[in-house]
Amino acid sequence: MKEYKMRRGETLEERIPDMEATVEDYFGPITGTEEFKGSDLYVVGEPKNPVFTRIVAGAVKYSGKKDKLAVNFEEADPADLAPEDLEAAGEAVSAKNDFLLEATGRDAKSRRDSMKRAVEDDAPDV
Q: Identity (one letter) of the amino acid at 93?
A: V
Per-residue pLDDT reduced to its tens digit, 41-61: 999 999 999 999 999 999 998
Helix, strand, coil abundance in the chain, percent, nearest 5: 40, 25, 35
SS3 state of residue 95:
helix
Predicted confidence (pLDDT) at residue 110 exceeds the cutoff of 90:
no
41 beta partners: 34
Predicted confidence (pLDDT) at residue 6 exceeds the cutoff of 90:
no
Interatomic CA distance for residues 7 and 11, integer angstroms: 8
Interatomic CA distance for residues 6 and 110, integer angstroms: 11
Mean pLDDT, residues 63-67 taken together: 84
CA distance readout (Å), 46 to 27, 30, 50, 56 = 9, 8, 8, 11
Q: Which CATH number fits domain 1-120: 1.10.1740.10, 3.30.465.10, 2.40.110.10, 3.30.310.190?
A: 3.30.310.190
Tell me the pTM: 0.82
In 3D space, the residue among 57, 84, 59 whose CA is nearest the CA of residue 71 turns out to be 57
Q: How many CB atoms lie within 10 A of CB 74?
A: 11
Per-residue pLDDT reduced to its tens digit, 77-100: 878 878 877 778 888 989 999 999
Per-domain boundaries in the chain: 1-120
